Amino acid sequence: MITKQPNDYVKIANQQLIKQNNLTLVFNLINRYEPISRVKLARLTRLSPTTISSLVEELLENELVMEVGAGKTNSSGRKPIMLKVNQKSRFVISLEVKKDKNSGGVYDLKCNEIARKSISEYDIAELGNGLISLCEELIEESKLNRNNFLGIALGIPGIINYRDYTVVSSTVIEKLHTNKTFYTELSNRFSNIPILMENESCFAAYAEHTIARSGREGDNILIDINEGVGCGIIIDDNIYKGAWGIAGELGHMTIDMNGEHCECGNRGCLETLVSIPAILKRALKAAEEKKSGVFWELVQKKDLPLFDSFLKAYEDKDPVALETVLHAADCLAFGINNAVNLLDIRQIGISGRITKFGKLFIDRVKQKVKSMSFDLYGDKIQVNYSVLGDDTVVLGGARYLLDNIYRPKRDFANQGI
Ligand SMILES: [Zn+2]
């Protein structure tokens, strides 16, 4: 009797992986170039016509694509049958966990929004139930059959442990790491729908890359600066996560080894210098020493939230506010320069509340980055505010799920963490 050797299983696993990747590739090409023929797909992918036929057959069986009649041909031969994405046949749900609310949307195969919902004020201990309710409401509102959902994307503002799908820490939601079961509760409830949990900055960066810039500008990073500093890295049109899934922790890159303590346990991380709380802390200290100026007066009045007082003082060109913002710009430039030297990435996007500091801030960052970079490519580095602005995580999550429709979820759990 012939028995399978362990290597045969490896070969079968590899074949399956190749097939899943090819199905994803063909689906994405149809999505991009529709209507398109099998012949053109074979030409674009360099796969054999037989392989393309069998992949397309599977996509047709799963109702992800459809045939839409004959296309044009230059020769007198048979006109090819054209293929299109079967836009309303399958759907994805994309969710985002925020500090004050959970939001989500339902999207069709062309990433058009079908339904959108938010649930405000939730209890961290009940996050699992909150996300389940949000999904149920989205399914209800979209009036779709739950068997037609291909997956759920879940954007989280924190570092994820991919071994047990829990959150290690979050600078945005202080107690998020204390809820160890929300992912499991969500997967148990929707056991037949795969759930892709990812750091929110990765989804935001993916939206910026694929939707705002149509993937035309190559590799990019998006640095999101609010309460913390998040960062998503896009390399070769895909989210880059490194070996353990935590790549992109730019906020915890050391800029000043003698600097302030950071929540991560180290000193002088970028986050301790450029996050909104860090900027306000530095400005308050400087204003306290000077005891004068617009910011100092607004702080004494206590009429406005602290960030709003600071912004007003900055717009009024208060010296303390200006110095603080320019200092943050310089520190951010150090972080960007480190990232550029490490990854050779030319496109850097900046999003979050830091963008309120406008042209003066971004120009200072650009100028400083240019002064630090190698002459060879200094002019090529583009630092700009995000095109999409806020609220891109849900859209980016949906887009990412759709672009990776057949790809197996990367298994960080088996990499010896
Ligand atoms: Zn840190």
Q: From the CB of residue 373, how many other CB atoms can be counted at a distance below 10 Å?
A: 18
Separation of CA 266 and ligand 1 centre (Å): 5
- Quote the CA–CA distance of 94 and 104 in Å, as a whole number: 5
Residue segments in the chain with a per-residue pLDDT below the cut of 70: 1-13, 71-77, 215, 390-391, 408-417
Separation of CA 122 and ligand 1 centre (Å): 27
- Quote the CA–CA distance of 239 and 219 in Å, as a whole number: 10
**Residue spans per domain, the chain:** 6-85, 91-205, 214-385
Residue 7 one-letter amino acid: N
Please give the pLDDT value at position 106: 97
214-385: in CATH 3.30.420.40 = yes
Asked whether the domain spanning 91-205 has the same topology as the one spanning 6-85, the reply is no
Please give the pLDDT value at position 75: 63
Q: From the CB of residue 134, how many other CB atoms can be counted at a distance below 10 Å?
A: 23
Could you tell me which residues are beta bridge partners of residue 66?
84
Separation of CA 254 and ligand 1 centre (Å): 7
Residue 153 backbone dihedrals phi, psi, to 5 degrees = -95, 140
We find that the CATH architecture of domain 91-205 is 2-Layer Sandwich (3.30)
- Quote the CA–CA distance of 175 and 276 in Å, as a whole number: 19
Please give the pLDDT value at position 162: 87
State both tokens at 150: 């291909």
Neighbours of ion ligand 1 (CB under 5 A): 252, 262, 264, 266, 269
Please give the pLDDT value at position 417: 38
Separation of CA 31 and ligand 1 centre (Å): 41
Please give the pLDDT value at position 2: 52
229-235 vs 220-225, strand pairing mode: antiparallel
- Quote the CA–CA distance of 306 and 329 in Å, as a whole number: 20
Please give the pLDDT value at position 8: 62
Q: Residues 289-318: pLDDT tens digits?
A: 999 999 999 999 999 999 999 999 999 999
6-85: in CATH 1.10.10.10 = yes
Separation of CA 213 and ligand 1 centre (Å): 31
- Quote the CA–CA distance of 29 and 13 in Å, as a whole number: 24
3-state SS assignment for residue 5: coil
Separation of CA 108 and ligand 1 centre (Å): 39
State both tokens at 164: 């047990």
Separation of CA 401 and ligand 1 centre (Å): 30
Rounded to two decimals, the pTM is 0.87
